[in-house]
Structure 1
Amino acid sequence: MNPPTGTGPPSGAADRAPTRPERTSPGPVRLALRPPTFPPGPVCGAWWPRTDDLMDELPALTDMFDAARGRVTRMASHRETWPAAPCDLPVAGHTVKAAWFASGFAAHTIRLFSYGVGRWDLLVVPPRTGAGRAERLMAAAADPALHLTASELMAAERRLHAEQEAVCEQRQREQWEDEGGAPRHRSAPLSPSRDRYSP
């Protein structure tokens, strides 16, 4: 039997599991940005991540900013926006330093800093948001005619959703009544009938 040549992996290397599973790209970045020709608003656009795992989601986002607007070196966000709050986030070729705030920073916001270039505040659309609501939020955040903060955008969408739910419920109720589910007008109370148990 030939002795080992030393070119393969060390003994037992295949048995050792990595500390974190290798990441796969979650898909194209769902990002909407305000036109750069307009004055900046409270947010410069919106980002709709697919999951709430920032370590998986941030690399694709920073790749876009690195290529178009300069390398992202730092980020800041509200602590409640993400379930985990690591201080260092590895992305392609470097590490992004993170700062987390419990107050004084709008929820559903992420702030990206590019070295020597500037900063960008993005509305973070919650990952499990329905497509219709997410598209409205992203369009509003990228609309140069609107000057709403992330919190105001989310509040406006909640109001719209509540109004739509109320209209839908009213239509369902009317349809149910039209199909005989309930009388439209309250009928007169029935007079008590005399039967063999009446005095």
Structure 2
Amino acid sequence: MTGFHAGISLGSIAPGRVRQARGQVDTMTVLTARPPPAAPVAKPSGHPPLRLSVKPPGPRTGLLDGAWWPRSRDLARELPALTDLLDPLWGRITRVTVNPTHWPVVPRKVPVTGHVVKVGWFRAEQDPHQLLLLSYHVGRWDLLIIPPETGAAAAARLMTAACDLRTGRTGSALIADELERHPAAPAEADPPARTQAEAWEAEGGAVALPVGMTAGW
């Protein structure tokens, strides 16, 4: 089976530059080495609290821009809440790509508030524990996907690790490290993912984000 690429290839996606107004940063919580859980972010009714952490503003560092802890493996259900929060911060999210290894169904398009997000997928080219997001004229971001069944303590450690400015680990490397250090944590390992992730790491990774934030638990 080949992937639906939504008219793009990972190798051709250059990291963008943020054009976010500084005034929109003031109300967010800047991440520290171990950020406390924040209050759920207000969003349209029907969405449960979003569980997300992103890096604070600053120079480009690492391969990840943050971590997302979805509540299920249903992209059509999970993406609308994510874009509701990220659209005002990063510009309208127009496309996302995933590795289908951990997503039973990968829809070609997902209706979200005010627009439609195109969805592509890659196997060898994309880390199975990462989500790539694109927005026109603003940039590219890469989020660690924390498996939905992960326990709260393990998820907190993974969110902190993904937002650590001192490291440049891939999503699969962080998941594997968590399993090695805390074997009882119900996170997932993906043995081939390290090889895929190392190959993608050489492409240059992601960009720094306009805000530092932890949302919803």
TM-score, structure 2 as length reference? 0.62
Corresponding residue of 1:42: 63
Corresponding residue of 2:154: 133
Q: Is the 8 A contact 1:42 1:121 kept in 2?
A: yes
Other structure's SS at 2:180 match: helix
Q: 2:165 is matched with which residue: 117, 141, 144?
A: 144
Corresponding residue of 1:102: 123
Quote the Cα distance in structure 2 between the aligned partners of 1:26 and 1:133.
Answer: 23
Q: Deviation of residue 65 (structure 1)?
A: 1.3
Corresponding residue of 2:132: 111
In the TM superposition, structure 1's runs of 4+ consecutive aligned residues that sit over 6 Å from their partners are none
Corresponding residue of 1:71: 92
Alignment length (residue pairs) = 142
Quote the Cα distance in structure 2 between the aligned partners of 1:49 and 1:116.
Answer: 27
Quote the Cα distance in structure 1 between the aligned partners of 2:97 and 2:114.
Answer: 20
Other structure's SS at 2:53 match: strand
Matches within 5 A, 1:16-95: 25-95=46-116
Change (3 A) 1:161 1:118: same
Percent same amino acid among aligned pairs? 46
Q: CA RMSD in A?
A: 1.7
Q: Is the 8 A contact 1:33 1:45 kept in 2?
A: yes
Quote the Cα distance in structure 2 between the aligned partners of 1:101 and 1:39.
Answer: 25
Q: Deviation of residue 163 (structure 1)?
A: 8.4
Relative to its length, the structure with more helix (as a share) is 1
Between 1 and 2, higher relative CO (CA 8 Å, sep ≥ 6) is seen in 2
Q: Deviation of residue 81 (structure 1)?
A: 2.5
- Kindly name which structure, 1 or 2, has the bigger radius of gyration based on alpha carbons: 1
Q: Is the 8 A contact 1:88 1:97 kept in 2?
A: yes
Q: Is the 8 A contact 1:111 1:121 kept in 2?
A: yes
Q: Deviation of residue 40 (structure 1)?
A: 3.1
* Runs of at least 5 residues in structure 2 that lack an aligned partner in the other structure: 1-43, 186-217
* Runs of at least 5 residues in structure 1 that lack an aligned partner in the other structure: 1-22, 165-199
Quote the Cα distance in structure 1 between the aligned partners of 2:47 and 2:150.
Answer: 16
Q: Is the 8 A contact 1:85 1:100 kept in 2?
A: yes
Q: Residue deviations 1:28-77, cap 9 Å, x none?
A: 21101111213231110000011111111101111111111100000001
Q: Is the 8 A contact 1:76 1:100 kept in 2?
A: yes
TM-score, structure 1 as length reference? 0.68
Q: Deviation of residue 24 (structure 1)?
A: 6.4
